[in-house]
Amino acid sequence: MFHLCEVILLSLQIQTIMNTTELKGTWEEQKGKLKQKFAALTDNDLMFSEGKKEEMLGRIQIKLGKTKEELHKIISSL
């Protein structure tokens, strides 16, 4: 029999896994659109690693010569 705190922890872990999976699925779609829009971007530029989102965004920013705000607008508009 599970205690309430164990059930809550398990549901939070499942939610985190689902959110990460959804993010990766969404990112795969957005990555393809970004590569179509900006031919200079490579798979290495767009590699998403857990906990390294800011590093990836920095690489894209530098490669495209965009500000952080401009980059977020571009990704949001895809």
Measured CA to CA, the distance from residue 3 to residue 34 in angstroms comes to 46
Instruction: With respect to residue 15, please indicate whether it lies within any of the assigned structural domains.
Output: no
Measured CA to CA, the distance from residue 43 to residue 5 in angstroms comes to 41
Residue 21's φ and ψ, nearest 5 degrees, are -65, -45
Instruction: With respect to residue 17, please indicate whether it lies within any of the assigned structural domains.
Output: no
Tell me which residue has tokens 């872990």.
13
Instruction: With respect to residue 13, please indicate whether it lies within any of the assigned structural domains.
Output: no
What pLDDT was estimated at residue 17?
Answer: 52
- 57, amino acid identity: L
Tens digits of per-residue pLDDT, 33-77?
A: 888 988 888 888 888 776 787 888 888 888 889 888 888 888 778
Range of the domain at 59: 29-78
Question: Could you tell me the pTM of the whole model?
Answer: 0.57
Residue 12: pLDDT band by 50, 70, 90 thresholds? low
Number of domains in the chain: 1
